[in-house]
Amino acid sequence: MVLKKFAGRDFSSEDSSSLPLRENIEEKYKWNLLDIYPDDDKWEADFKWVEDHIPSLKKFEEKLSHDYETLLECLELQDSIGIKLDRLNLYASLSKDSDMRVPRYQAMDDRIKNLATRFSSAAAFIRPEILGIPSDNLNSMIESNEKLKVYRHYINDIIRMKKHTLEKELEAVLASSSDILQVPYDAFSMFTNADIKFPIVKDENGDEVEISHGRYYSAMYSYDREFRKNAYMSYYRNFKDYSNTISVLFNGNLKANIFIAKTRHYNSVREAALDGNNIPLSVYDNLISSVNKNLMPLNRWASIKKRLLGLDELHPYDSYVTLFQDESEKKYSFDEAKEVVLKALSPLGNEYLNSLRIAFDNRWLDVYETKAKRSGAYSSGTTFGVHPFVLLNWTGNLNDVFTLAHEMGHNMHSFYTGKTQPYPYANYSIFLAEVASTFNESLLLDFLIESASSKHEKLYLIEKYLSNITSTFYRQTMFAEFESLVYEKTEAGEALTPDILCRMYKEITQKYWGSEMVIDEQEEYTWARVPHFYYNFYVYQYATGFAASEILASKVKREGTTAVERYFSFLKAGSSDYPINILKSAGVDMNTQEPIDAVSQKMNMLLNEIESLNV
């Protein structure tokens, strides 16, 4: 069988149910990993360099307090190793994600994790020794050298975390255990991305298609309700059948994080996770409590959707399909989508647009879904000295256009951070990670609504806005509340069996969606398929990031150049300050409930508009 080159939605003319092989994708739609290393041999050379230099850290042990030269030399060696280690990890990770069946790249990914653990163990003495230097002596050392002044914020943050930093022997033990503690997520990821075998179902046209992660999400937008239902039931079948195994991995991840939090003298995993970026617990609590006070817009949206779809019962597989069919039929080629995104982001000016074009034209992106490619979408983040990369699994829906804008928001954030900041600050905290991405989505949606040529198209796009609020703000807050609850119960010594996890997830989902939504048994197993539950209190930041980005986007549109300059300062700030302060400088105070409340208020306004236009 000869496969065509895949440049759009063409698969094999003989077997359209199969995913294409990677070698049958045009090169321009695959990321160019030569930008990281010209070949595997160069990767091996850098791997050996890191192996050879890790032992060199030992010579600084118990000597950091001697003089500023020793401290500086140690920190610079740590950075040099870290820079190469990050580059090694990027190449191994992207190579593995391109085709997760390739043993060589699975092995390289394992090796780099092991090497990173050895590096962390070898460098574990640095923080405790810095904390052991009398503050007057430490300040004098920093002030006596311009290069050492670069590390001022880095050192201040170490001092802030003093009571959670252990003796160097214990720090070394924790560092050496990191790859073991990562096993639950690694096993979950390998199972769901490489080993799991999804069923074959009949699509809207009666053709048999093999369900995949990407095709499942695409099916949820289908107007054929029977196809949606079958795809939904089939997709969840494995997660239900293997729920006992997955629950062991799920609980293993919880217990691993509890072990770390207790060892570091935190009261909870949540406190430990937020303290890493100096985020007050009140920010998390404000999000949950504020959203719980503002569930009516989501309940109202469920009622409207049920009525306009003409359903007796609204099920989870009805929550994605649009109410306004004609416009949503449109499919976008990847090249068309690039042009739409460039136009939508024009308020940010030529500098930003030119950076996007460089990314598009130089294969920073891997576009199409292929056999055994990692599911979903991501941007690789900042790797010092290398541009960031983006993984997509393109199907051509409008949702994919938004995914492109979203991931390029991450990509540009990483790009500008890497260009501007020295290595110690050439990354941004996860608290800020979802701001730039949802900011881009907001500008894209506003652009499309303003460009709408008919009332029907406008209704469709307003609905898209509502769906974004539902999935990025409400759904992620719901995940955050569920995550907080499972940790609380586990920390209290309660066992979380699959039945208990299902019951907990159903109760919280029902609360958020209200009585109009029928929660199917399959939906109860969502805890078993969401990888973000392994990311240790990550998901709440989708919601806070969404709220912050809405305010920043409105400022850019309303204030123009001044707001754009502040936004660029945000993109370039990296981790040179604490994330709460960086956002405040950009114009958003996340210590208040105002950004959270504003999203619910906007949803109500959009619901009013969709009802008035549809009368």
Give the CATH number of the domain where residue 125 resides: 1.20.140.70
Q: Tell whether 122 is covered by a domain.
A: yes
Which of 78-92, 349-363, 452-466 is predicted least confidently?
452-466
Q: Tell whether 73 is covered by a domain.
A: yes
Note the pLDDT tens digit of each residue in 246-285.
Answer: 999 999 999 999 999 999 999 999 999 999 899 999 999 9
Q: What is the mean pLDDT of residues 579-585?
A: 94
Distances (CA, A) of 294 to 451, 552, 600: 31, 22, 6
Q: Tell whether 290 is covered by a domain.
A: no
* Number of domains composing the chain: 1
Which of 37-46, 160-169, 307-316, 483-492 is predicted least confidently?
160-169
Give the Cβ contact number of residue 46 at 10 Å: 16
Ramachandran angles phi, psi of 544, nearest 5°: -65, -40
Contact 538, 430 (CB under 8 A): yes
**Residues with catalytic annotation?**
407
Residue 453 has pLDDT above 90, yes or no: no
Distances (CA, A) of 529 to 169, 247, 279, 456, 524: 37, 10, 28, 35, 10
Residue 8 has pLDDT above 60, yes or no: no
Note the pLDDT tens digit of each residue in 290-307.
Answer: 999 999 999 999 999 999
pLDDT of residue 5: 29
Ramachandran angles phi, psi of 314, nearest 5°: -100, 125
Residues of the domain holding 102: 38-179
Contacts of 132 (CB under 8 A, 6+ apart): 65
Contact 332, 340 (CB under 8 A): yes
pLDDT of residue 218: 87
Residue 111 has pLDDT above 70, yes or no: yes
Q: Tell whether 452 is covered by a domain.
A: no
Note the pLDDT tens digit of each residue in 9-28.
Answer: 232 333 345 789 999 999 99
Q: Tell whether 120 is covered by a domain.
A: yes
Q: How many CA atoms lie within 13 A of 269 on its CB side?
A: 23
Distance CA 255, CA 14 (A): 49
Distances (CA, A) of 395 to 217, 337, 370, 453, 556: 10, 12, 11, 25, 31
For a pLDDT cut of 90, what percent of the chain falls above it? 77
Residue 3 has pLDDT above 90, yes or no: no
Ramachandran angles phi, psi of 431, nearest 5°: -65, -30
Q: What is the mean pLDDT of residues 54-68?
A: 96
Instruction: Give the pLDDT band (50/70/90) at residue 475.
Output: very high
Q: How many CA atoms lie within 13 A of 249 on its CB side?
A: 24
pLDDT of residue 322: 85
Q: Tell whether 113 is covered by a domain.
A: yes
Strand order from edge to edge, sheet including 390-394: 365-368, 390-394, 378-379
Q: Tell whether 9 is covered by a domain.
A: no
Q: Tell whether 293 is covered by a domain.
A: no
Distance CA 277, CA 256 (A): 20
Is 428 or 614 the better-scoring residue by pLDDT?
A: 428
